[in-house]
Structure 1
Amino acid sequence: MTIELVDAGVNLSNHQFDEHHDEVLQRAAQAGVKQMLLIGCDIQSSQASLQLAKRHSLLCTSGIHPHDAKTADISLEQQLTLLASHPEVVAIGECGLDYNRDFSPRDVQRAVLRRQLALAETLNMPVYLHERDASNDMLAILNEYNVKGVLHCFTGDELALQRYLEKGLYIGVTGWVCDERRGEQLQSLIPSIPLERLLIETDAPFLLPRTIKPKPKSRRNEPSYLTYVCQQIADLKGCEFTEVAKQTTLNFQQLFSVRG
């Protein structure tokens, strides 16, 4: 039986992949990654992700990352609605709050998040969420809207996890779970994440799994390394790799209304 995986978060429009798209996607296919979700972080990267998704029969998101919230203007809703009219776009985001780096003022982050949640609600689309050190504000704002979605690259604590699960969100786990230095808390929480609410992602080219042996010459992460995230989760849950692969693929299809 062929094991098929879905990478629920790839920054394929990142400059680190320039001129390398075909070979990266070929290695992903050889590793069993049959589909991937390309992340849009601002209007430019959302447009670039859409073009890549069209070219390679992939899926993507369109949105404004909290780091880039300060770049949003009055045309945001119009621009995202136009992007979301393409069938490849299956979620609004990456949107959310990041109080860890504060690259945009917090009041601007909150305002731009609300605009994107309202748009997702209007368009009846899932949201692709980012949150760092801001779970209380994030949950308070989410409670104002009727949306479904995924908390991408979860790195929070047990209380935040339980509240996001109670909210009905899926939880995205990256190679952070493979990091013996800063991933210890996430590793301890993996058994608490129901398998039917889990998505796996690389967040490539970032967060290269530290469990890769031998260590790659390049520090650039890529979708073919999703297998290491899947295996680490299987080990922490005490189940088979195939079980994690099958259920996370099904979860992806259900959340984003994608046919298998």
Structure 2
Amino acid sequence: MQLIDIGANLSHDSFDHDRDAVLQRARDAGVVQIVVTGASREHSPKALALAQAHPGELFATAGVHPHHATEYTDECDAEMRALLAHDAVVAVGECGLDYFRDFSPRPAQRKAFERQLQVAVDTGKPLFLHQRDAHSDFMAIMREFQGRLGPAVVHCFTGSRAELFDYLDQDWHVGITGWLCDERRGTHLRELVPSIPADRLMIETDAPYLLPRTVKPAPSHRRNEPMYLAHIVEELARDRGEEVQTTAAATVRTTRDFFRLPPWDEACPPPERHGDRGGGAAHPG
């Protein structure tokens, strides 16, 4: 069984001491490819460096998370465009709106989001989107670009039924994380995931965040990592009433189509490793 993690913050400093071991544990768990999230001026280049060090296995996004919206200057815009010129950078983002924490002023969030949507229009690359407690403004801004954007995935979906169907009505994709496994706040997702068409569904860990609470035994450090994607897909398949292999194969097929990823031939040895890249703090979600 092969799996693809569409969102892992592998440049996070919590992986600096054992990143190679993290990748090996992911391979052992069937995770054959990972999209490394770029979500700031600091971490988007590091995501690309990781992808370049592991060609065909790791890929990257390039963008600025709404928590960092104030850093989205003209210089930042030029940096993101330069990163997106690389084939290994497969999507624009993580970008969007987050009114739950408001780490950046809302006007700055909206401006940074709009500028990154324009980057997506100009480059033709898919969108890797973030939305939390900002659905109305999020949809309004996306509508301003309607008809000009390519594929989009709302990553780490945690919202309501109405939000889910708003996204599906736009033919957007949906990323499901270990939030599904959280009995405190994710129970509603178990009722919603059967409504997501197989060709719109993808899976992700959002590592090192959102360790599935149903993993037993839970690691003492509470750090999430891509190997737990296997646990997420098992729970997702159960909630969808499918065999695990069916859910896994569908998400792999959908992910490869969305990001235009090459197939991973298990018969081929992994490419030569060039050591760890990355480091520094990143954002949650």
Q: Which residue of 1 aligns with 2:34?
A: 36
Q: Is the 8 A contact 2:59 2:90 kept in 1?
A: yes
Is 2:212 the counterpart of 1:209? yes
- Greater relative CO, 1 or 2 (CA 8 Å, sep 6+): 2
The question of 1:109 aligning with 2:109 is answered yes
* 1:1-260 aligned within 5 A: 3-57=1-55, 58-145=58-145, 146-147=148-149, 148-260=151-263
Residue by residue, what CA displacement relative to the aligned partner does 1:69-121 show, whole Å, maximum 9, x if unpaired? 01111122211111011111000100000010011111110111000001101
> What's the CA shift string for 1:230-256, capped at 9, x where partnerless?
011100011011011101011111111
**AA aligned opposite 1:188:** E
SS at match of 2:92: strand
Equivalent-residue separation in structure 1 for 2:175 and 2:196 (angstroms)? 10
Aligned-partner SS, 1:75: helix
Identity of aligned residues (%): 46
Summarize deviations over 1:165-208 as a string: whole Å, max 9, x none.
Answer: 11111000000001111111212211111122101000000000
**Whole-angstrom distance in 1 between the partners of 2:13 and 2:129:** 22
Alpha-carbon deviation of 1:218? 2.4
SS in 2 for 1:43: coil
SS of corresponding position for 1:154:
coil
The count of aligned residue pairs is 258
The residue type equivalent to 2:62 in the other structure is S
- Give the letter for the 2:133 counterpart: D
What is the rounded CA distance, in whole Å, between the counterparts of 1:70 and 1:80 in structure 2?
Answer: 15
* Contact 2:234–2:244 (Cα < 8 Å) also in 1: yes
Which has the higher mean CA deviation after the structures are superposed, 227-236 or 140-149?
140-149
- What do residues 5-24 of structure 1 show as CA deviations (whole Å, max 9, x unaligned)? 00010000011101211000
The aligned amino acid for 1:152 is H
CA distance in 1, matches of 2:171, 2:165: 10
Q: Distance in 1 between matches of 2:53 and 2:257?
A: 24
1:175 partner letter: G
What amino acid is aligned across from residue 177 of structure 1 in structure 2? L
**1:15 counterpart letter in structure 2:** D
Contact persistence 2:41–2:71 (CA under 8 A): no
What is the root-mean-square deviation in Å for CA atoms of aligned residues? 0.9
Letter matched to residue 224 of structure 2: N
4+ residue stretches of structure 1 with deviation over 6 A? none
C-alpha distance after superposition, 1:140-165 (max 9, x if no partner): 11111122210010011011100011
Say which SS state the counterpart of residue 143 (structure 1) adopts. helix
Task: Using structure 1 for the length normalisation, give the TM-score.
Answer: 0.97
TM-score (norm. length: structure 2): 0.89
